[in-house]
Structure 1
């Protein structure tokens, strides 16, 4: 390869050759090799995260570098387009010069390969090396020898490019997963290079390493445990971990933190400030978080699997057909609005479209409910029926009678016609009706305002989430559904207006396949008995006086189900509503929308595909070990609890010991025969998305209500089969926690990094789910998952007092713009957060007592304990648009991210001790609240 001799320039190694960038005349700084007078950055070029072009900016430098001379500080950008790799470019940015202007120098004709590494040098003085010095120290054979010995070509890169001062970052750009058989112990650890500039970096001392003369051999060695077959990265003395997982973790943390903020003043901003500063809120979602970014990286893996894998299992083919039909925009546009128009005709016609020709005499709201359900739409506009395990006896199933779903959430639809979003919602109704054939716009506007008024009445009857969890007295466990009428005390003389129509309505909505009908003697659980009384009156009144209004509302809710999945015109109308609801200004990539169609009823097939191709068995084993440590620590906390009486404590201990953990995935998910049996009655095509959606709904609805007459197994593997999921769960009726394979990866878990990071990230999540078994809701269920009072009255009183302390503490936390947290709504999650961080930290201390102290991370001045807290906080780094923030504050049972960190951590003395925060600071408040 030809190269021009420039005395100053960066070196890029690719295809076993070199390219040098010239420095434009007039800019400040020189790039080159200066022995013992530079920091070396080797940057990973990451796998692209999106199909559209994206720039990965690597401009954030460690404070140590920011405080040095600005002379020659450079950053690298990798611009890539996944669909058009021929347009890939590599650029170098001069981030600082005399005029404080950003300059870009393009490197053309650089073909990036999976062996591409970029080496950028930072000069901290005026020295300028000669070309001979560069060639002497970094000749081609030396680089190639180093590359071939440092890391196997099959080694997978970690997502996200990073810039770390003080050490090397060596990964190949292999887009595949780390092979399960790969033994990291065979990989020579990358060398470190430390220049004496700040007290927390080691000075360079002779003799020098023969490969890189500026490297001291002591920097190449660390405790054998870190390079042996053991997964425990420990040392008996001081040392730095240089395994790839440690290097990646250090890089992530440097990009996350903001050291200009004191951890004792605002730990959330300290731990997440760098990420917040450099992370943009996606226009298509209105929200971004560490969880969402990890989920997006998982989604890319899933997308690639769906599009490229050759699995022939019929269940997998069915799942892929749903995805392909969704991606087939040509077929969707060709069908246009005909599928929706035909559906409305089958349902008796939408009165606002039919005009005067609509016949009120033939309308029967219960018959229409049955047609809505049988045509593949959700019949949940008045009451939402589900099958659940009997809360008193989880081996049998029962009907759960829930409140209706709403087209516009309660807090908005009840604001009245002058509210901006209500006006947008009304305009959506009007525009849709006219698009589907309505002629008289004035009449349409009048009728749609009536529909909004009816929906507002239904909304008023539902539970207000601002009041927190529903009161226990609202739930009603009835041995016979007929007793519902007797319990509607808001009605005159306790007499149901609908009478026997209730039974006919339930049978039309749930579909027991004609074999057996729902009867008045059916065992049911009613979610909100007050709602049932009001909806009973409302339906009977409107059906008697204005059948047209009732039909208009029911069919509007059918139309609304189709807007997001129809042709472009319908999708655009729904996007406009989302803009007002959530501040979303851009459309989500089509493949993401299509992938989301697979995360419900088709999640088992998708997860089966994922675990075969991507899940590492060693991650599962390590996570199971962590679960044991954390469960043991919760037991220890129980043992030391002084406010519980001995009998209640024994009951709690029994429940803890019987709690099961499904880590990664249930074994049955790897059995193709069982997966295929689950989907045997579902057939989907690759060219009719609208029909596929309806078929899936019909199939899922039948499957759910088939369970009603069957004996329930609360530990049925199908309940835990959604393994391709970046989340975790506690299921009270099985007394089980679920830690899916999808979260045992990425920033949350890596078996190749110290456990103080894993206990801080996934350990916090595990502890959170364990504590849910003992929050204000989970505590009402016993060790086998049945609702039972196992609390002595005095102990329950103490528990409630502690809960009230936490409610007030979160209510008093000051959010931006004078907003406040609903402490009642978020109580169960706050209890789980506070318990989790204590369990995870103390479990890690036990881990250290068993396996010894762990190595620190390179380039960071923080202790392992401090890094535990930093990693725990980074779980919750997030940003939202103002609209989305308000929506989540109103509806989400989780507190905003900064409170999840700042409030929970401030309640725990060990956090303050780790960072030496004085009493009375924001991170070490005098008044603390704890439940566990």
Structure 2
């Protein structure tokens, strides 16, 4: 269960740094052409560093945003495409990864065959739904929907038991909405959300009409009504952040107390886990009870319409052009403001990447990840861990007993850099040329079975939750691990030829960010073994809460677009990580100097370059509709706020740029938050 990532769920972006010439190698990490000297660093550091980039950059027509993450992700796509094209030109033996990747891509690219098939690939799935004669059969259908990642009122995941990290557990949680968040259904005082809701109904009607539904308008209204009832009983994004509240161990024999009359035995039998487990974790018990009430009060015909809708929307991208275009028009253009669909070859690459990511990753790493990058990254991680070790003993909000526990947890942190030690086996995955929808279902079923197969087996500590070609990083509290895939280890995040100051400000802050998740308001509830255990004193909790309450207030005051503020509670963990990560990266940078002064380069001190390195990775430009999605659903603050909001709390930043009262970035010492 990945708890903390550095990148947003709404993809950010940044231009990859241009290759440095030999004469400017130390400056290669600073992209001076992006700065705007007309904006004072003391007033708006984000625009001071990125202002020219913001003025000249147009968000690509097929993107929701532009900035440091997306450009790296975009730069990775041609690399993966070249690999796939190479496999496609080779005669591959049936059953090999090469055959599967090539045929998966080819099937998606065969638009003539896909268009000719129309809705035929889904007829058997629709028949599953139409064949139901009693709501008691829904539990059987739900198991199939969950195994194929088709939207349903609840879903499962397999992860380590939060109170016994040596074993895997099945966790059931809320799901089943077609809009990004419950607020889209329930907020009547927000004109934009009401408009999205109305357009969602029209979208469903169009899709059902294309599917031959003679009552598409009525059914669209029924679907919205049903999803609204589910939204009413769902937990909020803030409530979902509490790991203690979400840990509800329920014996199989007692599930009926939550959902009287619901056939869990059949559901678990269809999943293939009956008899293998004697309890499950129910993340939101009140939601399951609410779902069961909605189930009983809603007609079987309405449920059939709902399920067929989610079957249709889940496969829309693999269906004929009319379905794919309408699916894009709503989910990308309406909801996120993206005017143009991505080139089909890119979508084909993403499909292959999502289906066989580690196999592609093995080939990607061999071509694009030098051993020197891994070695330098290992040194950076080591230095950051040393800085944390030293800092723990100086914290004003931890008691001696808690500091001892914190040191023990830090000592067990497991860094993973670049790529996994062992690669995933895809021999159980079937890919058939000419069957785009079937391949999608097989990919998802294979992934679900991979997870279900973990039950009853020892925990695999070598497993990765991201592929090497993912431009992101994460902390997993159950493993107590920090993971940095190969693809994020590129400019502007990491440049092996760059000045250390810039690397510490960029990738160093990312490393510090991920380590700090082990000590934020969520991660700190897990001990070094990955178990949910309160190892803080009551006084520690009170002192930490006082600091984080100020952070909540700070970030809740930011309004990236009129009428929409950052949710300081939802983003708290990531904001803690940004502030802590940068503070520790700064200390690690100072340690790396070994007591020597940093050189002045291009008129910039080492500290100034450090903070510029941090700010330039957050350069971001986002469409308004996409920003609304982020503010409603994403635990990360928008990029501009991640830069300025963090720097305002950094004493070193005040010294580097001589901030004084009256400067717009200035906070009084009493207003600043210092956690690390």
Provide the rounded CA distance (Å) in 1 between the counterparts of 2:510 and 2:450.
31
Provide the rounded CA distance (Å) in 1 between the counterparts of 2:578 and 2:162.
25
Compute the RMSD of aligned alpha carbons. 2.4
Change (3 A) 1:636 1:469: farther
Local SS of the residue matching 2:428: coil
Provide the rounded CA distance (Å) in 2 between the counterparts of 1:801 and 1:371.
47
Q: 1:591 aligns with which of 337, 340, 345?
A: 345
Provide the rounded CA distance (Å) in 2 between the counterparts of 1:460 and 1:285.
32
Question: Match for residue 29 of structure 2?
Answer: 249
TM-score norm. by structure 2 comes to: 0.91
- 2:451 aligned with 1:704: yes
Q: CA deviation at 1:481?
A: 3.1
Question: Match for residue 333 of structure 1?
Answer: 115
Question: Match for residue 496 of structure 2?
Answer: 751
The answer to whether the 8 A contact 1:474-1:530 is kept is no
The answer to whether the 8 A contact 1:682-1:699 is kept is yes
Question: Match for residue 6 of structure 2?
Answer: none
Question: Match for residue 505 of structure 1?
Answer: 267
Q: CA deviation at 1:722?
A: 1.2
The answer to whether the 8 A contact 1:302-1:610 is kept is yes
Local SS of the residue matching 1:738: strand
- 2:24 aligned with 1:261: no
How many equivalent residue pairs? Answer: 651
Question: Match for residue 67 of structure 1?
Answer: none
Local SS of the residue matching 1:406: coil
Provide the rounded CA distance (Å) in 2 between the counterparts of 1:866 and 1:816.
29
Q: CA deviation at 1:380?
A: 4.5
Q: 2:635 aligns with which of 872, 890, 893?
A: 893
Question: Match for residue 535 of structure 1?
Answer: 291
Question: Match for residue 431 of structure 1?
Answer: 206
Question: Match for residue 392 of structure 2?
Answer: 638
- 2:558 aligned with 1:802: no
Q: Deviations over 1:530-580 (max 9, x none)?
A: 1111112111232xxx21111111111111101122110001111121211
Provide the rounded CA distance (Å) in 2 between the counterparts of 1:854 and 1:322.
52
Question: Match for residue 580 of structure 2?
Answer: 835
The answer to whether the 8 A contact 1:756-1:867 is kept is yes
Change (3 A) 1:739 1:161: closer
Q: CA deviation at 1:688?
A: 2.1
Provide the rounded CA distance (Å) in 2 between the counterparts of 1:757 and 1:534.
51
Question: Match for residue 440 of structure 2?
Answer: 693
Provide the rounded CA distance (Å) in 2 between the counterparts of 1:497 and 1:265.
59
Question: Match for residue 770 of structure 1?
Answer: 515
Change (3 A) 1:804 1:247: closer
Superposed, which structure 2 residues align to 1:312-391 within 5 Å? Answer: 314-348=96-130, 360=133, 364-370=137-143, 372=145, 377-378=148-149, 380-391=151-162
Bigger mean CA deviation after superposition, 305-314 or 406-415: 305-314
Q: 1:622 aligns with which of 358, 361, 376?
A: 376
- 2:675 aligned with 1:931: yes
The answer to whether the 8 A contact 1:377-1:558 is kept is no
- 2:623 aligned with 1:881: yes
Change (3 A) 1:726 1:564: same
Q: CA deviation at 1:318?
A: 1.7
Q: CA deviation at 1:816?
A: 4.1
Provide the rounded CA distance (Å) in 2 between the counterparts of 1:749 and 1:445.
52
Change (3 A) 1:361 1:718: closer
- 2:398 aligned with 1:651: no
The answer to whether the 8 A contact 2:243-2:522 is kept is no
Bigger mean CA deviation after superposition, 583-592 or 731-740: 583-592
Q: CA deviation at 1:623?
A: 0.6
Provide the rounded CA distance (Å) in 2 between the counterparts of 1:848 and 1:370.
57
- 2:235 aligned with 1:463: yes
The answer to whether the 8 A contact 1:729-1:738 is kept is yes
Local SS of the residue matching 2:416: strand
Provide the rounded CA distance (Å) in 1 between the counterparts of 2:33 and 2:580.
28
Change (3 A) 1:884 1:379: closer
Q: Deviations over 1:632-673 (max 9, x none)?
A: 11112111112211110100011111111001112324xxxx
Provide the rounded CA distance (Å) in 2 between the counterparts of 1:601 and 1:711.
25
Change (3 A) 1:393 1:448: same
Provide the rounded CA distance (Å) in 2 between the counterparts of 1:698 and 1:403.
20
The answer to whether the 8 A contact 2:16-2:492 is kept is no
Provide the rounded CA distance (Å) in 2 between the counterparts of 1:818 and 1:790.
40
Q: CA deviation at 1:424?
A: 1.9
Provide the rounded CA distance (Å) in 1 between the counterparts of 2:127 and 2:62.
34
Change (3 A) 1:473 1:568: same
Q: 1:300 aligns with which of 62, 67, 78?
A: 78
Change (3 A) 1:425 1:870: same
Provide the rounded CA distance (Å) in 1 between the counterparts of 2:138 and 2:16.
53
Unaligned runs of 5+ in 2: 1-14
Q: Deviations over 1:416-443 (max 9, x none)?
A: 799322222222222222222223xxx4
Question: Match for residue 9 of structure 2?
Answer: none
Q: CA deviation at 1:802?
A: 1.2
Q: CA deviation at 1:815?
A: 3.5
Provide the rounded CA distance (Å) in 1 between the counterparts of 2:35 and 2:234.
43
Provide the rounded CA distance (Å) in 2 between the counterparts of 1:532 and 1:813.
35
Question: Match for residue 364 of structure 2?
Answer: 610
Q: CA deviation at 1:259?
A: 0.9
Q: CA deviation at 1:930?
A: 2.5
The answer to whether the 8 A contact 1:662-1:720 is kept is no
Question: Match for residue 444 of structure 1?
Answer: 216
Q: Deviations over 1:726-784 (max 9, x none)?
A: 10110101111001111112321111121111111111110100001101110011111
Local SS of the residue matching 1:799: helix
The answer to whether the 8 A contact 1:666-1:720 is kept is no
Provide the rounded CA distance (Å) in 2 between the counterparts of 1:471 and 1:838.
25
Q: CA deviation at 1:473?
A: 5.8
Change (3 A) 1:747 1:317: farther
The answer to whether the 8 A contact 2:148-2:448 is kept is no
Superposed, which structure 2 residues align to 1:546-557 within 5 Å? Answer: 546-557=299-310
TM-score norm. by structure 1 comes to: 0.67
Provide the rounded CA distance (Å) in 2 between the counterparts of 1:648 and 1:249.
38
The answer to whether the 8 A contact 1:806-1:930 is kept is no
Change (3 A) 1:829 1:470: closer
Local SS of the residue matching 2:71: helix
Q: Which of the pair has the greater relative contact order for Cα pairs under 8 Å at 6+ separation? A: 2
Provide the rounded CA distance (Å) in 1 between the counterparts of 2:638 and 2:83.
34
Q: 1:914 aligns with which of 641, 656, 669?
A: 656
Unaligned runs of 5+ in 1: 1-157, 163-168, 171-188, 190-241, 350-358, 489-495, 670-674
